[in-house]
Structure 1
Amino acid sequence: MDFSLNQEQEMFRGFVRKYLNDVGQTKVAREFIKGDTKALQSVFSGLAELGCMGITISEEYGGLGLEALDLVPVFEEIGKVILPGAYLETMALAVPLLEKYGSEGQKEKYLTDIASGSRSITLAWLEPKKDYNPDEIECWARLDGDDLIIDGIKTLVPDGDLVDTILLLVRTDEGKEGDGLSLVLLDRTNETVIKVQQCIDETRHLTELTFTNVRISKEQLLGSINQGWPILQGGLLYLNAALSSMMVGGMERVVDMATDYATIRKQFGQPIGRFQAIKHRIADMKMDLEAARSLSHYANWALENDYEDREGAIHSARSFSTEAFIRIASQNIQIHGGIGFTEEIDCHLYLKRARFFENYLGSTQHNNEQVALALGW
């Protein structure tokens, strides 16, 4: 069983890496923190020209018609440079759901735009003072003839002020354990009140969206009405597999940073990397990285091939990668010493991104429980 990347995928990684190096690696993230979003838009235009926006989109809609494993090198390279934006939510959630459940009109409109780089999509799930429990969804979309009227508030929406479309989890009927929930595609309009929230990771925007009598066509439903919860759970498999790859990319860059610094930083007349305490710590970081990489590659391979243990593999990769990323990013700061706490170098960017993902769309405990369920425990 070989679930490693093939020669073509590694070659494409090289093109993406060169492009991201040319635009300054983490320079885009640092400019984004200062409020410059134009540089990010330019980067996404360049990624679209490379074909990164259409990898898993069908050829008839302007894509390449490839599979989940072909996204792995792109997510790893994006993770290395802490690229802002909703590439993850667009390519690893919206695209697979549109391909599977979208109407012909939705595919023609959204997939074509995504492939060209002119549209990005995020997910609005959480509501104020609530968690990811489906029973707590109170944002309603009530039927009114051929329209839906949306009322409610969504919070902690990633990049809700930057994307073009919001994939909105709403209640369309009473129900428990996910019954009565639907997914709708809402194009951003002036009717939606957007409030930017504080986020530990300054390279990601979190927003609160308020909907008051927002009227959209019933044709904006993704899939069947009242079937949004099982559709979303299937989409989260794609997202968590991709997210584990993105975290692997971040971990690889952190290990490289720690190794480089341990080589050039001298103490008592020799590089600190020669000291056992530092040497063993970096070795542990490398082991965490390679374990996460193997889990991530297998998770994406199992997803692409619809393997029987794909759910357990994906949640295992997500859980381990999340904890390993936090652990490695924290150790990197310790190895850098006092300078590791400053904003002049990149150490803090990776720890903040790791903490951002810690509870993103589910905690580590939740993913461990999903692993247990997949194993039949």
Structure 2
Amino acid sequence: MHFAFTDEQAMIAETAKAFFAENATSERTRAAMADAGVDRLLWQAFTGELGLAGVAIPEALGGVGLGMVELAILAEEAGRHTAALPLLASLALAAPAILAGGTDEQKARFLPRLASGELVASFAAMNSDGTPGVTLSDETLTGAALLLPHGASAGIFVVATDDGVAIVERGALGLGVTPLTSMDQTRPYARLDFGGVAVETLADPRASVRAALTTGWLAIAADALGGAQACLDRTVAYTQERIQFGRSIGSFQAVKHRLADMMVAIEQARSAVYWAACAIDEESDEAAFAVHAAKAFACDTYTHCAGEMIQLHGGIGFTWEHDAHLYFKRARSNASLLGTPDWHREQVAGLAGLDEAA
């Protein structure tokens, strides 16, 4: 089967590519790293001028009413430039959670504001050790939620617990928000502390968590795909310019082989990402399998390509002034957020029945 973008999807891809190439520059990203990891002018342009922030939100709720393929396109282009935007937290985690599990009133109150960029949201899932960290009882939260992407910039938080999913507004009495030092400063984390915070709950918590994680995994995989492609493109350009022993280092067979390995892995990751996006849009029985596979393979590919980028750039690749470290840190962040590649491979094995066979 041959997969190709529709004319509309191709137009979105070209528009997003030009937009991020012009606006998500290294200088602006580095400036945003000192400002809670958000390029605010870029966010305003992305949500306002580009008008695609609500790509997966229905038109009746202020969005564009498209699907996961279009969301993956945007996430891939943002990842290509390590854009300092709360795209993952607000649009790929919190918005799907509210859309899938919220009441009609909650959807109407929050989703148009998320689509317009007026409101930024973040999402708290289980802690890395598998414990919920937060207890929900009688519409009151206690405990602590860790590692909320762009949590310090969010105006509302969608918090998943064993007992339900809650929406918490930033000014709620008893809520503490603490910015955390993160490896990837373009996507910083925050910690939430709940001292008996009164909240409102979503009507369908199971659907809410499933939608948030599925869309979040896809967005991370697409971000990793874009970052890996940027690592390859920049490294190919550098190896054509760098002269050693009277010739460009890109002409050496050993270097060609490493670049070719990167390209093959990226094309495989691209197939995995857009297979997952199509499967989710079509509500295929393979969707869960596909999105776990995409998250694992794309993140591993990004980590490999970012490492190769640093090595093939030589000494300059290790410096703070070079963008290689931005890609390497984003690759590590993607690999650890919402499940490591090994964890996702375990889910694939379970869905394929391999654990039963063992």
TM-score (norm 2): 0.93
Choose the corresponding residue for 1:184, options 148, 166, 183.
166
CA distance in 1, matches of 2:322, 2:133: 43
1:94–1:209 CA distance, 2 compared to 1 (3 A): closer
Per-residue deviation, 1:7: 2.2
Root-mean-square deviation (Å): 1.8
Task: Give 1:95 deviation, angstroms.
Answer: 2.5
CA distance in 2, matches of 1:197, 1:357: 17
Alpha carbons of 1:36 and 1:362: their partners in 2 closer, same or farther (altered >3 Å)? closer
Q: 2:187 is matched with which residue?
A: 204
Q: How does 1:213-252 map to 2 (within 5 A)?
A: 213-216=196-199, 220-224=200-204, 228-229=205-206, 231-252=208-229
* Alignment of 1:11 onto 2:6: no
Name the structure 2 match of 1:363: 340
Say which SS state the counterpart of residue 119 (structure 1) adopts.
Answer: coil
What is the CA–CA distance in structure 1 between the aligned matches of 2:208 and 2:180, rounded to whole Å?
Answer: 28
Q: Which residue of 1 aligns with 2:327?
A: 350
Are 1:283 and 2:278 counterparts?
no
- Partners of 1:308 and 1:239 in 2: CA distance: 19
Say which SS state the counterpart of residue 137 (structure 1) adopts: coil
How many residue pairs end up in the alignment?
352
- With over 3 angstroms needed to count, the CA separation of the structure-2 counterparts of 1:4 and 1:27, relative to structure 1, is farther
Query: Match of 1:139, as an amino acid?
Result: V
The CA distance in 2 between the partners of 1:139 and 1:306, in whole Å, is: 31
Q: Which residue of 2 is the match for residue 174 of structure 1?
A: none
Contact 1:75–1:245 (8 Å) recurs in 2:
yes
Residue 66 of structure 1 aligns with which residue? 66
Query: Cα distance, 1:248 vs. partner?
Result: 0.6
Contact kept? 1:87, 1:120, Cα under 8 Å: no
- Equivalent residue in structure 1 for 2:240, among 263, 271, 295: 263
1:137 aligns with 2:119: no
Match of 1:91 in 2: 91
C-alpha change, 1:115 and 1:167, in structure 2 (3 Å) is same
Q: 1:61 to 1:253 in 2, by over 3 A?
A: same
Q: Which residue of 1 aligns with 2:145?
A: 154
Shift of 1:234: 4.0
1:52-104 Cα deviation digits (max 9, x unpaired): 21111111111111111111221111001111232113222222332222211
Code of the residue aligned with 2:33 in structure 1: it is I
* Alpha-carbon shift at residue 321 of structure 1 (Å): 0.8
Specify the alignment match of 2:45 in structure 1.
46
* Cα contact 2:102–2:208 (8 A) shared by 1: no
Aligned identity (percent) is: 29
Change (3 A) 1:237 1:325: same
1:81-131, Cα deviation, whole Å (9 max, x unpaired): 11123211322222233222221111111111011111122112345xx61
Alignment partners' CA distance in 1, 2:140 and 2:98 = 22
Tell me which amino acid in the other structure corresponds to 2:332: R
Equivalent residues of 1:3, 1:301 under 8 A apart: no
Residue identity in the other structure for 2:156 = T
Q: Is the 8 A contact 2:33 2:185 kept in 1?
A: yes
Between the aligned partners of 1:114 and 1:68, the Cα distance in structure 2 is 17
Counterpart contact for 1:126–1:157, Cα < 8 Å: no
Q: Secondary structure at the match of 1:122?
A: strand
Moved over 3 A (4+): 228-231
Structure 1 residue 323 corresponds to structure 2 residue 300: yes
In 1, Cα distance between the equivalents of 2:36 and 2:222? Answer: 27
